[in-house]
Structure 1
Amino acid sequence: EADLQTWFKGIEITELPKKVGLILAGNIPLVGFHDVLSVLATGNIALIKLSSSDDKLLPAVLRELCKIEPALEGQVVYVERLKDFEAVIATGSNNTSRYFDYYFGKVPNIIRKNRTSVAVLTGQETQEEIAQLGHDLFDYFGLGCRNVSKIYVPENYEIKNFFEPIEQYNDIINHFKYNNNYDYNKSIYLVNSAKHFDNGFLLLKEDEGFSSPLAVLYYQSYHDIKKVEQVLTEQAENLQCIVSKANLNIPTGILQFGESQHPKLWDYADNVDTIKFLNSL
């Protein structure tokens, strides 16, 4: 409640509601709720194109919200195809973003592409901090853009110092879809003789990339943390969160371990202020 009151202080309720098309992602439950809430809070009308992967929970939540405040019912419209919209907020992949640019480029828009998150370890982390990092890795099975998909570790880092504290998350392997991905990626690495570490439920593979497959965590060693800062600064448009206790000089906000999937209402995706955008319509 306190966060809502703080958030609402910066919101202007329009007297001329606009129809805002929302193309929602479905990679994790309720991932599009913040966009819907932002449209409703500013007094605009949400034209909601649900993801087929998240088409039950969000309508259920909004039904309860409308029971609390029946006046909101007129601001919630579900659509199969967007039309008669005056602005758009669309979330998709790097590929779909090109289509979004083409179709929605003539109206005010926020178009989101693929992003992921990384953690930078110094080697001085406590076991509790690494255990908290497990939430950043495994919450929602690692499917969110705020989930950590890569870690940077100092040279000669002892991998057991990472594996031991996250052992408490080992029951994730009992989910058959996660297990299938784990088995598949493991077999690929073994067939290709690709160097990797394996603790029985997570594969740790050295890679310069950022977006690791499900059940895989990329890692990269560093000698000079300043070079890590440079890479993360260059990749800022592809990163959602940085998790670290290091004092990094980078444009992306730095979060403490375990916080990546606990954003505040004012922690806007891609660092684009949704409320400011809606208030400008």
Structure 2
Amino acid sequence: MFFVVLFGVPRTEPEVGDRSLDAGGFALLGLGLLLLTSALTFLRLDGPGAWQVWTLLVLGLAVFVPFGRYELRRKDPALDLRMFRRSSMWPVQVTAGLFGISVLGAQVPLSTFAATDPAVGYGLGLQPAEVSNLIGIYLLAVIVGAILFPFAVRLTTARITLIGASVLVGIGYLMFLPLHDGAVEVLVNMVVAGLGSGALLAALPAAAAAAAPVGQTGIAAGMTNTTKTVGGTFASGIFGVALASGVVSAASTAGSLAGYYTVWALCGGTALVAAGLLLFVPRLAFSDPAEVRVAEAVATAE
């Protein structure tokens, strides 16, 4: 990878102007995220009735108030909050957070469902090696989705491809609601969701970088991973509580059927919400500047 970057990535000229590391901004951002993720971890471990869950959650949210004021006053902020007001940026970041619910939060519930003994009324009863094979096929679908993403962009646009990938994720998880009684049904659902997930994994950082102003591409692309992680952490806490409710025997199953329905419905529903939010992105938001100029010239001529 070092030599690929050394010889394959064009050299860029440094920006003119005084720039400094926004240590205060990064410290406040890190503190807020630490408090929020800690609250969600305690939610998964101790449930919603634990006092530390709500205390840490309130403190974490409160930290973002001085963080926002501090960043808006700085000439060179760690996180340019004004950038996230762009119609081409905020839907991408929200989509990343919603996408984290399924791509990070749903993997453990899917594995435990596959391993659950059908004697309890649901589950596939697969052995650990068989569960690994199932997850492996899902990961293969993710890789295929990422590979197919640039070809889909050439046939349509980046915006339409993002919307289509989110719809695939939503359909894949919602298919679990009626279709989860056999390994083939579960496998088909996971492949559909995996194709969409792979496209989103490849597309979201690139889309955020394309929508960001000069000098903020790294921050914008990195924030997609941050919001995705926060979304996954939030989902893990909620899913842990949902699966634990109504469990009859911890020795026989890792969760209740109602909890699995909750997981699938939330993953599918949030993916479709993300697809709806991406409709607000301008049509040529992630296109090359030359394509935008051509489209503007055609529109002017018409």
Q: TM-score, normalised by structure 1?
A: 0.28
- Pick the structure with greater CA Rg: 2
Higher strand share: 1
Q: TM-score, normalised by structure 2?
A: 0.27
